[in-house]
Structures are given as structure tokens and as C-alpha cells.
């Protein structure tokens, strides 16, 4: 009888712990904004993507090694653990916005994050060059490796004192308004990034080889 009581107690204790854990998981994410507290009850559904081997990703001028894994931490979208979009500062109550204006609210922020993550997965999988920097992001479309090699070339010239190459590099990467937040040696790091140079060269050579084989196939008698 005593043994049965102990078993029953353990089972009840287990259910209690599970309920407490569930309650803890259900706790909404809160944003403290001065004296106000914004409650985000609907958290993002997106958690982690599969590794994506395509594309070239730069964050604040630094090349991020592939493969790329997109994750969500609180209200921030990350690529390989680096924050590319933090939605928290943009969240405001519906009353904050002028009538008719559409903004990010505690009720809609999860949808915005999920939508961006899904778009990132699609775009990175499709392939391209993506620059993320303070205040925004940009995409330069498909990159067969030549774009990355061009950036390395500009960075190498800039490290040798070529001011024109430096300005072109900054404009190409969209970093004009965020230079103060970059690592002091970001250009030197890009110029000496052998991993990026090797990957870009390999991709470009593979493309050229495919094009060569396609030309030979077309020129083959009987085709």
C-alpha cells in the first residue's frame, strides 16, 4: 500500500512538473519600453532552417562562411548566429501609429519574423550575394563567384592605399551609412579572406567548365 502511495505521488509530481514547464514555455515575451511593457503573446513559429550551401553572405562588411543556418532568437532573425534583423526596437502598440498607417505591433511581429525567415530561406537557396548592414539589407542577385572575387580585388587595392577602390567597395556593399559600426580592419579581413577567395574561384571555375561542356555538346557533329 505504501509502495502504491509512493508511485502515485511520483506520478502526480511528474504531471505537476510538466504543467509547470508548460506554463513556463507559454510565458509571453515582454518588451520593456520605459515605464511601459509590451506583451508579445504570439511568438514566431520559425526556429531553425536546414543548412544552406548556396549564396554569399556579408554582415557589416564581413564574409560569413557557408553553409548558412537561419534561426530566431527572441525577436531577432540570425544567420549563423549573427543578428541580421532585430524586430524588438520596431514593435509599438497600435495606438502609436497614425490612423491608416501599418506598423509592427505585438500582435503582428511574429508574422513579420516568420515571413522574413521564409523569404531568406528561399533567396539564399536560390543563390545570390546578400549584404546585411546597420539599418537594412540588400541583395545583388545571382553570384557565380565573380562578384565575390570583385569585392576581394577592391579590398586588396584599398589596403594598398587606393582610395577610389575603397569608396567603390563601400558603395558596392552599401556600407556608407554604417562605417562607424564596422570592425576597424574589415577591409583587410575581406582582402585576406582565403576561404571566400577559394570558394568563389571554385564556383566560377565550375560554371566555366559547365559552359565549356555545353559548347562542346552543341558543336558536336549531329547536334
Residue 10 falls inside a structural domain: no
Residue 15 falls inside a structural domain: no
Residue 167 falls inside a structural domain: yes
Residue 12 falls inside a structural domain: no
Grid cell for residue 163: 582610395
Amino acid 37: pLDDT: 86
pLDDT tens digits, the chain, 223 residues: what are they? Answer: 444 444 444 444 444 444 444 444 557 788 888 788 888 888 899 999 999 998 999 998 899 999 999 999 999 999 999 999 999 988 888 777 766 667 888 888 999 999 999 999 999 999 889 999 876 777 777 888 999 999 999 999 999 999 999 999 999 988 888 888 888 999 999 999 999 999 999 999 999 999 999 898 888 877 6
Residue 33 falls inside a structural domain: no
Q: Which domain holds residue 202?
A: 42-215
Show the CA angle centred on residue 55, arms to residues 51 and 56, nearest 5°: 110
Residue 109 falls inside a structural domain: yes
Amino acid 16: pLDDT: 45
Amino acid 26: pLDDT: 56
Residue 22 falls inside a structural domain: no
Alpha carbon distance 191, 18 (integer Å): 53
Grid cell for residue 210: 559547365
Alpha carbon distance 170, 65 (integer Å): 20
Residue 26 falls inside a structural domain: no
Written in H, E and C, the secondary structure of the chain is CHHHHHHHHHHHHHHHHHHHHHHHHCCCEEEEECCEEEEECCCCCCCECCCECCCEEEECCEEECCCECEEEECCEEEECCEEEEECHHHCCCHHHCCCCCCCCCCCCHHHHHHHHHHHHHHHHHHCCEEEEECCEEEECCCCCCHHHHHHHHHHHHHHCCCHHHHHHHHHHCCCCCCHHHCCCCHHHHHHCCHHHHHHHHHHHHHHHHHHHHHHHHHHCCCC
| Statement: the pTM of the whole predicted model exceeds 0.85 | no
The number of folded domains in the chain is 1
Amino acid at each position: 500500500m505504501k509502495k502504491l502511495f509512493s508511485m502515485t505521488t511520483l506520478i502526480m509530481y511528474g504531471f505537476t512538473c510538466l504543467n509547470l514547464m508548460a506554463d513556463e514555455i507559454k510565458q509571453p515575451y515582454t518588451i520593456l519600453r520605459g515605464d511601459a511593457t509590451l506583451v508579445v503573446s504570439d511568438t514566431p513559429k520559425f526556429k531553425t532552417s536546414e543548412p544552406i550551401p548556396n549564396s554569399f553572405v556579408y554582415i557589416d562588411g564581413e564574409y560569413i562562411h557557408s553553409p548558412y543556418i537561419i534561426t530566431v532568437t527572441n525577436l531577432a532573425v540570425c544567420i549563423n548566429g549573427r543578428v541580421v534583423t532585430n524586430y524588438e526596437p520596431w514593435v509599438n502598440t497600435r495606438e502609436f501609429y497614425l490612423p491608416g498607417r501599418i506598423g509592427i505591433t505585438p500582435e503582428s511581429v511574429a508574422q513579420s519574423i516568420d515571413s522574413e525567415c521564409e523569404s531568406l530561406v528561399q533567396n539564399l537557396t536560390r543563390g545570390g550575394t546578400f549584404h546585411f548592414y546597420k539599418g537594412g539589407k540588400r541583395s545583388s542577385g545571382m553570384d557565380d563567384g565573380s562578384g565575390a572575387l570583385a569585392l576581394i580585388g577592391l579590398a586588396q587595392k584599398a589596403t594598398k592605399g587606393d582610395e577610389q577602390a575603397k569608396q567603390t567597395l563601400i558603395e558596392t556593399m552599401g556600407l556608407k551609412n554604417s562605417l562607424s559600426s564596422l570592425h576597424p580592419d574589415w577591409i583587410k579581413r575581406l582582402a585576406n579572406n582565403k576561404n571566400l577567395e577559394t570558394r568563389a574561384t571554385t564556383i566560377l571555375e565550375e560554371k566555366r567548365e559547365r559552359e565549356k561542356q555545353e559548347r562542346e555538346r552543341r558543336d558536336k557533329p549531329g547536334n
